Structure 1
């Protein structure tokens, strides 16, 4: 079976058309069909070389390419072919993987299943995706690496909202909880909808929230993961002195381990978890462990994350579906390549009515006087209290409520 549909014969028919209006129409129709077929073939090649991971993504890419001028598609196809001399084999591999999905879908749509669903005859359950191809075992399975490879090679579930309505409800709840963060939330809302259109599942491009301590940056990221149903992990830049927690360490070391994204995917059986890197600017470079901020770079660019070669697995794994949210108090120490890979949003403390509603919501259920709410609001606006301090006050009020009344 050929990889691509055969191109039409560009030489045309050997029989010369008669010089009549009907003959000209037939010749024009033949040339039009031939041009359309060549356009579609180039669009097909280009779509395969973009390495789509699902049929939905391939369909999106193919339809977009067919709607663009043929000259544009040809130029983009030549760029991809020049970038990878083995493009025919690559396209064949992608096509074969997509045909496996097509065979699975032809048996009828079903429930997305669970992360423990077994692969039958090479098929991938609906709502799952393959991220890793376990290489053949070589020698002794030291420290369980082969077991990790086999586990990662099984289909992983795609978590999070799957329809525009679910995305809208998710961000409506986030807007209600953090109205002072409306700009990054509005951006994330639109990117989530874009991800559904392109891929069919939830994923956000890398995001950097820049603001003072205690303004709700990390809390927003955690609530996003919680409300979206995504597994999450949090890395602390202030205590990180090496790059190994990000990218993993070489298997030759006795203390080797995979990076955080690989670990989280393995433990959750979810292909698109969310990783929070808190206070990323405070990561420290060590002489032997590398710079954690530099180690981030491959994960923040989708093309490189899709074929990240894990030093622990010593094999590529697709991490392009992981959402990364970084927070920072300043831009000091953050390189230009890192900033070029993220969308930056300066954020601050809530003020005015936003702050007052937040205080009331946090203290909801506690018997707190309106004057106390006004005083807390004033303290936060004056910089003498942070949102973390507000949580501590909430605990203090609860403790006071438990004390016995004295008569």
Structure 2
């Protein structure tokens, strides 16, 4: 079965309204002059005590110290008129700038956010039958991760049943031995839904900044990887994987402030706060409530209680040898490995010496990659 194509449903990701295009001072002057000219013409006023031609050349039509609002009705403007018009223009531009929520951003940052003017798409499932198919395909690939697939299955069916514009899934915390394929499962989920996947290693020193970004006032500030990927892909419900979340340390700013990854995640995992989450870099509110979070852990008991209350751990087990054999056969077909290569890998997995020390998914994937390299190497003469 092929991956499902992206859906056409769209939602606003950036919650601040985009301001209208900037209007130059010259254009505003013309508008005010035209409006004032029409008012005076309507009241039969066609002259001014002191006629003054615009010295800056902001008004293109200036003939014989006279600007005509209507070709048939000559209306003259004096120095006081120009002073009032330009003062009004200045105030209008200042008011527009003060009301612009993007005024503090640099030009390239505003341009980056312009990609969100038309919203972002959502990956969705059209009906519960399609939800059943996706869950069945994922379970066939990872039967030992059945509890995780079951939680996803219910989320897919609920999204279709309630007629949501996209798939909405509660954050998942996959807890199990290392190397059993938790992150691979999450990436396969993204592929089946036709949505991007962002993988962040929690053990990275800057993992907290990588998720939420840093405040723009700090040295070396930058937006988080999650927001950047959403801007690039224009998808509102990507799969975001936080790998080995219990190994996260505290990130520090250049001024020595400590930031804990788990604490940074809490507002994003809580629907009430995720619907209007303010990015510390862009200083704009975003709707992050559609993100499909998949947290992986080897020892979930090490995580703080606030995180566990939002993501009850789903306990997972090691795959059996027959399950690994089936995984190799399916993956070998996807990678177009030769029958001889697949048979050799199966023979390794079933060797008696590994009976008490079975291989895990991580090792098996490396074996598959090595077999693909050998299958596709050029012939030597």
Alignment length (residue pairs): 284
**Runs of 5+ unmatched residues, structure 1:** 1-112, 116-125
Q: CA deviation at 1:313?
A: 1.9
Matched residue SS, 2:227: helix
2:135 aligned counterpart, secondary structure? helix
Distance of 1:226 and 1:344 partners within structure 2? 24
Q: Retained in 2: the 8 A contact 1:307–1:319?
A: yes
In structure 2, distance between residues paired with 1:332 and 1:303: 26
Select which of 194, 201, 205 maps to 1:229: 194
- Residue 307 of structure 1: aligned partner: 276
Aligned to 2:309: 340
Give TM-score, length-normalised by structure 1: 0.63
- Name whichever of 159-168 and 340-349 sits farther off: 159-168
1:293-312: per-residue Cα shift (whole Å, max 9, x none)?
A: 21111111111100111111
Asked if 1:255 corresponds to 2:210, the answer is no
**1:84-123 equivalences in 2 (<5 Å):** none
Per-residue deviation, 1:164: 2.1
What do residues 86-115 of structure 1 show as CA deviations (whole Å, max 9, x unaligned)? xxxxxxxxxxxxxxxxxxxxxxxxxxx999
Query: TM-score of the superposition, structure 2-length normalised?
Result: 0.67
Gaps of 5+ in 2: 18-99
For residue 394 of structure 1, the aligned residue among 346, 362, 368 is: 368
Does residue 279 in structure 1 map to residue 244 in structure 2? yes
Contact 2:300 2:313 in 1 (8 A): no
- What's 1:118 paired with? none
State the alpha-carbon separation in 2 of the partners of residues 294 and 251 from structure 1. 20
Superposed CA deviations along residues 332-365 of structure 1, whole A, max 9, x for unmatched, are 5410000111132111221153233223334453
Change in Cα spacing, 1:345 to 1:268, as seen in structure 2 (3 Å) is same
Distance 2:14 2:286 in 1: 5
Change (3 A) 1:355 1:144: same
User: Contact (CA 8 Å) 2:271, 2:289: kept in 1 or not?
Assistant: yes
SS at match of 1:252: coil
The question of whether the paired residues in 2 share the 8 Å contact of 1:162 and 1:200 is answered with no
Partner of 1:275: helix, strand, or coil?
strand
1:188 aligns with 2:162: no
The answer to which structure, 1 or 2, has the higher relative contact order (CA under 8 A, 6+ apart) is: 2
Whether the 8 Å CA contact 1:380–1:386 is kept in 2: the answer is no
Distance (whole Å) between structure 2 residues aligned to residue 146 and residue 269 of structure 1: 16
Preserved contact between residue 236 and residue 279 of structure 1 (Cα < 8 Å)? yes
**Alignment CA distance shift 1:361-1:149 (3 Å):** closer
- The corresponding residue for 2:61 is none
Tell me the SS of whatever aligns to 1:203.
coil
What is the CA–CA distance in structure 2 between the aligned matches of 1:283 and 1:361, rounded to whole Å?
34
Deviation digits for residues 109-128 of structure 1, max 9, x if unmatched?
A: xxxx999xxxxxxxxxx611
Q: Deviations over 1:245-271 (max 9, x none)?
A: 121211223422222332222111111
Higher Rg of the two aligned structures: 2
Larger helix share, 1 or 2: 1
Q: Are the structure 2 counterparts of residues 405 and 167 from structure 1 closer, same or farther at C-alpha, using a change threshold of 3 Å?
A: same
2:110 is aligned to: 146
Secondary structure of residue in 2 paired with 1:162 = coil
1:134 aligns with 2:16: yes
Distance between the aligned counterparts of 1:170 and 1:114, measured in 2?
14
**Contact 2:105–2:282 (CA<8 Å) still a contact in 1?**
no
Shift of 1:274: 1.1
Cα distance change of structure 1 residues 312 and 372 upon mapping to structure 2, 3 Å threshold: closer
TM-aligned CA distance change 1:313 to 1:141, over 3 Å:
closer
The residue that corresponds to 1:317 in the other structure is 286
- The CA distance in 1 between the partners of 2:229 and 2:373, in whole Å, is 36
